Chains A and B, each alone.
Chain A
């Protein structure tokens, strides 16, 4: 390489075929591992990130679900974890579900079924929860009564509305009995009477 130091020519070596193949094999393995590793690491990191972000979001979204909702199973699945921090959580949740079912106008059978389920988990040492269940039951009775519909007798347009001879008399329930949470009015309107549909809030009036 250099005439100044011919002694150094001894340090000049040529890589033999065996060493070359060995080195290139190691490089190939490193390349393969790098490729797999980066993809694998990327996938694991992405999955971990999604889980970390998704679990709290889904848990939060499932918090106000009721039986029948898509995320309700997740709510029940995560309940043991919540129970670790709050032992009353299951009872509170069942009662809240009953209330939500009522608010969402679920059928009476469904509500009654879940009222029973709620009573199973509420203990005697949870009077507040028992009162909440009782209130739902009372409201449910009120709603049942309110849903009674009387078909309006036929009459000509413009003609005075005929007086029903034997109308179904609604139960006279005071606001106090109805509870403060669901105050309802006992006054009726023409629209109420002419409506054929049976919806919560429709009123049956006495002529």
Chain B
């Protein structure tokens, strides 16, 4: 959707230029979210749940916890719906930011409680395939080598597919700084992944 922005100062007419604005699929639901319409929440969930869960899964390497974090993000959205400002893009960024904070909280929780190794879990409690809900160990190891900030931008870019501008909004950073972080994170991740493959071969 193209629109011509015309500024009308007191002395004469100044045409500032042609701006390109693209409508977002979530634009239609922002008003419903603000008024806490269940229909709008369902629509937004259906449109974003896969991306949010994928992002959280990449961050936490545990699908169940990732789903819990996404669920909590929507509960937070219910609480703070009236604070949502902007269009559908802003709403999506808000959700990713909320999931990101949820993941960081989970990191803090994990640092406080020791992980139980698989060996000590009784046989009766071991599920059939314990790795089904977890990331591939080699990929998880590579992601764990990244700083949390690097891991976040890499996942948002290459798993979710957000643009650098959108990632900058989620991270609360500038486009340039986000691009720099993303570039370093990609290089570092590629090195780890290639190193793992060489080690395996």
Instruction: State the A residues within 8 Å of B (CB).
Output: 1-2, 4-5, 7-15, 19-20, 22-24, 26-28, 30-31, 34-35
* Residue in B63, B71, B158 whose beta carbon sits within 8 Å of that of A8 in the complex: B158
Query: Is A12 in contact with B54, judged by CB distance below 8 angstroms?
Result: yes
Q: Which residues of A contact B106 (CB under 8 A)?
A: none
Q: List 30 A-B contacts (CB under 8 A).
A: A1-B158, A1-B161, A4-B158, A4-B186, A4-B190, A5-B154, A8-B158, A10-B135, A10-B136, A10-B139, A11-B58, A11-B135, A11-B139, A11-B155, A13-B57, A13-B66, A15-B50, A15-B53, A15-B67, A19-B67, A23-B45, A23-B67, A24-B45, A26-B71, A27-B74, A30-B74, A31-B41, A31-B78, A34-B78, A34-B79
Query: Is A27 in contact with B41, judged by CB distance below 8 angstroms?
Result: yes
- Whole-angstrom distance between the Cβ of B72 and the nearest chain A Cβ: 9
| Chain B, 6-44, CB within 8 A of any chain A CB | 36, 38, 41-42
Contact with A along B104-141 (1 / 0, CB 8 A): 00000000000000000000000000000001100100
Q: Which residues of A contact B139 (CB under 8 A)?
A: 7-8, 10-11
Query: Is B158 in contact with A20, judged by CB distance below 8 angstroms?
Result: no
Contact status of A13 and B158, CB under 8 A, knowing A20-B49, A27-B74, A34-B78? no
Q: Please measure, in the bound complex, the distance between the C-alpha atom of A21 and the C-alpha atom of B79, giving whole angstroms.
A: 20
Q: Which residues of B contact A2 (CB under 8 A)?
A: 157-158, 161
Instruction: State the B residues within 8 Å of A (CB).
Output: 36, 38, 41-42, 45-46, 49-50, 53-54, 57-58, 63, 66-67, 70-71, 74-75, 78-79, 135-136, 139, 142, 154-155, 157-161, 186, 189-190, 193
User: DSSP class of B's interface residues: helix, strand, loop or mixed?
Assistant: helix
Query: Is A15 in contact with B49, judged by CB distance below 8 angstroms?
Result: yes
Q: Which residues of A contact B50 (CB under 8 A)?
A: 12-15
Query: Is B136 in contact with A23, judged by CB distance below 8 angstroms?
Result: no
Q: Please measure, in the bound complex, the distance between the C-alpha atom of A39 and the C-alpha atom of B81, giving whole angstroms.
A: 16
| A38, closest chain B residue (CB) | B36
Q: Which residues of B contact A10 (CB under 8 A)?
A: 135-136, 139
Query: Is A13 in contact with B78, judged by CB distance below 8 angstroms?
Result: no
| B61, closest chain A residue (CB) | A11
Q: Which residues of A contact B63 (CB under 8 A)?
A: 13
* Residue in A5, A7, A19, A31 whose beta carbon sits within 8 Å of that of B38 in the complex: A31
Q: Give 8 new A-B contacts, CB below 8 A, not counting A4-B190, A13-B53, A26-B75.
A: A5-B158, A5-B189, A5-B193, A10-B136, A15-B67, A23-B70, A31-B78, A34-B78
Q: Which residues of A contact B161 (CB under 8 A)?
A: 1-2
Q: Which residues of A contact B155 (CB under 8 A)?
A: 8, 11
- Whole-angstrom distance between the Cβ of A58 and the nearest chain B Cβ: 36
| B36, closest chain A residue (CB) | A31
- Whole-angstrom distance between the Cβ of B127 and the nearest chain A Cβ: 16
Q: Which residues of B contact A19 (CB under 8 A)?
A: 67
* Residue in B36, B45, B70, B74 whose beta carbon sits within 8 Å of that of A35 in the complex: B36
- Whole-angstrom distance between the Cβ of B154 and the nearest chain A Cβ: 8
Query: Is A30 in contact with B70, judged by CB distance below 8 angstroms?
Result: no
Q: Which residues of B contact A15 (CB under 8 A)?
A: 49-50, 53, 67, 70
Q: Please measure, in the bound complex, the distance between the C-alpha atom of A14 and the C-alpha atom of B57, giving whole angstroms.
A: 11
- Whole-angstrom distance between the Cβ of B184 and the nearest chain A Cβ: 14
- Whole-angstrom distance between the Cβ of A41 and the nearest chain B Cβ: 13
Q: Which residues of A contact B45 (CB under 8 A)?
A: 20, 23-24, 27
Q: Please measure, in the bound complex, the distance between the C-alpha atom of A45 and the C-alpha atom of B68, giving whole angstroms.
A: 33
Q: Which residues of B contact A20 (CB under 8 A)?
A: 45-46, 49
